[in-house]
Amino acid sequence: MISEKYKKMCSTPSVIRELSVYATERGKEIGYENVFDYSLGNPSVPVPDEFNKAIRELTEELTSSQLHGYSPNPGNPEVRSIVAASLKDRFGLPYEQKHIFMTSAAASAIAHAVRCVTEPGDEVITFAPFFPEYRPYIEQTGAVLKVVPADTSSFQINFDEFEKLMNRNVQAVLINTPNNPSGIVYSSDTLKKLARILEDKQKAYGHEIFIISDEPYREIVFDGVDAPYVSGFYDNTLSCYSYSKSLSIPGERIGYVAVNPAAKDADMIVSMCVQISRGIGHNCPSSIIQMAAARCVSMTSDLSVYEKNMNLIYNKLVELGFEVVKPGGTFYIFPKAMEEDAKVFCEKAKNYDLILVPGDTFGAPGYFRMAYCIDTEKVERSLPALERFVKNEYGAK
């Protein structure tokens, strides 16, 4: 019988998706180059040539079964070793092959990580503003997502509200730094304080509490910003990585879970992921994509364009009188809207062909997200539209 649960979910529209569809439709009327589409977090810079080259070479170097045969469920062993060595080298934790579980990007990494450390009915805490897909990611496992309201002064963690939400049923805390949608990087102080609280709570409650660290933007960090490695602060950490943004290959679905070698049951968690895989139909990511990513393990796309775009937008926003925290990374910025209801604000912006996403979607009403993974030339052309919008609708500063 058709599942009523999933049938009902089909009728809940995605705000971001709807805005993106609107932008495409509007583009058909006035030319897409004239729509300032800040809706989607789709990397705009090309993949490094080396990645495509690796793919071509792999088809010529390896036999059919070496290249296209089953990779073991936790991933290609050589690829896992390369990832472990690279993480060990960069971040100083003693990762080995056994700590790495290859996944179909961060969504799949989180799907495994959550199931590893929660049972249905358990609570998982995350911090606003947060990526809206966290809700289905968590809730479809049977766990319950609790959201700590944003500290809008800095978009670091609102610790007072966090401590209020903490209770014995919390088994995991899901964080995302550099953050979508705020662009903020959690400081060492933030991570130290988070770790200290969780260590105290682990003792008080008599069970582990895991950090699930969603890190697809780890490589997109701007000049002068210190981006500490989360797992270095807290043993019970599962790092969920994706190459989608660093190599501009979101369609290839490749990433991993890296288990902190000092975590509880660290030697077992990858085997648990294998068991979880059987139930969710994962098995392993594409073998050729695993191998190509491993050949590019120390590489990124040219990510400098995102910082250039950020500076252009940030400076204009400040000039126009917006309240905004300067991003430390990603390709997002999350300013305060110029009226209370950000949905109304973003609706008005459409009249200037500016496609902005209301912060309500991210658990932070009154703010809006701009995804500036678009051509710099278009960012430059969008700024006069932004200025017209603000001056016409809200008066000059």
Cα(224)–Cα(329) distance, rounded to whole angstroms?
A: 10
Residues 91-110 that bind its own copies (CB under 8 A): 103-105, 107-110
Q: Note whether 280 binds its own copies by CB under 8 A.
A: yes
CA dihedral 213, 217, 218, 221 (to 10 degrees): -140
- Count Cβ atoms within 10 A of the Cβ of residue 329 and give its class: 0-12 exposed, 13-18 middle, 19 or more buried: buried
Question: Which of 67, 225, 383, 385 contacts its own copies by CB under 8 A?
Answer: 67
Contacts 24+ apart (CB under 8 A), 25-30: 26/350, 26/353, 30/353
Q: Which stretch binds its own copies (CB under 8 A): 39-47, 318-326, 342-350, 362-370?
A: 39-47
Note the helical H segments in 176-327. 188-205, 266-280, 287-295, 304-319
Residues 188-247 that bind its own copies (CB under 8 A): 207-210
The structure tokens listed for 382 are 């969008």
Q: Note whether 46 binds its own copies by CB under 8 A.
A: yes
Question: Which of 16, 102, 269, 320 contacts its own copies by CB under 8 A?
Answer: 269
Cα(364)–Cα(366) distance, rounded to whole angstroms?
A: 6
Residues 109-138 that bind its own copies (CB under 8 A): 109-112, 115-119, 122, 133, 136-137
Question: Which of 24, 30, 32, 56 contacts its own copies by CB under 8 A?
Answer: 56
Contacts of 387 (CB under 8 A, 6+ apart): 316, 320
* Percentages (nearest 5) of helix, strand, coil residues in the chain: 45, 15, 40
Q: Note whether 6 binds its own copies by CB under 8 A.
A: yes
Site string for its own copies, 281-320 (x = CB under 8 A): xxxxxxxxx-------------------------------
Residues 162-181 that bind its own copies (CB under 8 A): 171
CA dihedral 108, 110, 111, 115 (to 10 degrees): 150
Q: Which stretch binds its own copies (CB under 8 A): 55-63, 123-131, 376-384, 385-393?
A: 55-63
Q: Which stretch binds its own copies (CB under 8 A): 217-225, 272-280, 308-316, 362-370?
A: 272-280
Nearer to its own copies, 45 or 317 (CB): 45
